[in-house]
Structure 1
Amino acid sequence: MTSSDDSAGAGFSQADLGNALAQCLAYASDLPWGSAPTLFALVPTAVLASQAPGLVDPGDDSALSPVVQETSTADLEELLTTVAWPEQVVGSAVVTEITLLPPDAEADLDAALEPLLADPDAADEAARRAAHSHPERKTARLAAGVLRTGQRVALLALREGEQQSGDLQTHPDIAPNLLDALAETLHG
């Protein structure tokens, strides 16, 4: 692979992206629940090893390395609308906490939102309160990532007590809006 291929993100597979997201979730598993979203630059491990050899374990054979970014905001929307990446970054990822509800919870959310539909901020806040108070809710960490070439993956790790499950789940329809926002950080 040439360095121009590295900077364009060519040659990386969906599995490479999934492995990088698993590394992001492993990093987040050491953070307390309730932490702010964590943003990562996805860099070809070979590029990182040549530019900053001290950051890469000599035995690391992963195609992509997530590099955690220091951020000044905990607001995910603000974070994703203000970030821009240099060419060496072939992808971006974020880990954030979400609340999962069973399919039959939609009626409960509709009842909480209906009186507030004219005020989107109030409706969002009501939806969050209803979700967080639902007796069948589950908390999870969501890792979402995209590459410049268009590959996208989202992984979920459920909360088990104070720990993060090692069992990662994915589905093609998880977090499409978040994946779109991440893609914009690469092309915007």
Structure 2
Amino acid sequence: MSMTPPPESTGEPLPSTPLRLVALEVEAHVAADGWDQPARMYALVRTAALVEAEPGLAEQLAVSLRDAPDGYTTIEQELPQDGRPLEDVLEGIEWPDAVDGCAVVVERIMLPPEAEADLPDDPDALVEAVAQHPERADVRLVAAVDREGGGHSAVRARTPDDAPLLEGPDLVPGLVHALRRTLDASA
């Protein structure tokens, strides 16, 4: 998997959009639980719309609504733990109209692009080769998308412990695209 350099590496600051902020919030929430977690998925609903639809939540969401009136509230979704790859699970997801976007967090192993040429074709041998590769990097990937076509992603390496969070709209394009399809399917 290749990654596009984040805009901050070129000196350009990232805008603090609601989608970026919710992606960072989701990453921090999942990171607080440590590593070796299953994939996690979140529905994104505009906080103002949620309060309008569910007035009983107004007090609980008052600070969020005050601080980010155009922001999102995350609602964690249960994902099947049946061993299917996340990409296959995403193909069967459709969101109701009340959902304004979605986010997913998944841990993966990444290799440098030059390592891919030496990988075996056999799926079992591939898993073993990747797991044993000396240049492997365990990473946490976050992708968030909205119905307007926006997207934001983040990547954090497991090591070192203080690894920086890389972020940008196109760091994990395959995952962003798969999430967009879940929103398109329900349109």
> TM-score if structure 1 supplies the norm length?
0.74
Q: Deviations over 1:149-172 (max 9, x none)?
A: 1111111122136x674x321255
- Structure 1: where are the runs of 5+ without partners? 1-12, 117-121
Aligned match for 1:97, one of 82, 103, 107:
107
User: Which position in structure 2 is the counterpart of 1:9?
Assistant: none
Q: 1:108·1:130 contact (CA, 8 Å) conserved in 2?
A: no
Query: What value does the CA root-mean-square deviation take over the aligned residues?
Result: 2.5
Aligned match for 1:175, one of 172, 176, 179:
172
Aligned match for 2:96, one of 72, 86, 93:
86
Q: Report the number of matched residues.
A: 163
1:140 aligned counterpart, secondary structure: strand
Distance 1:179 1:49, change over 3 A: same
Distance 1:56 1:85 in 2: 24
Give the Å deviation of 1:64.
1.2
1:138-157 alignment runs, 5 A limit: 138-157=137-156
Give percent identity, aligned residues only.
Answer: 33
Give the Å deviation of 1:134.
1.0
1:1-188 alignment runs, 5 A limit: 15-50=17-52, 51=54, 53=57, 56-60=60-64, 61-62=67-68, 63-73=71-81, 75=84, 76-109=86-119, 112-113=120-121, 116=122, 122=123, 125-160=124-159, 165=163, 167-188=164-185
Q: Deviations over 1:72-117 (max 9, x none)?
A: 33531232122221112110110000112233323332xx23xx4x
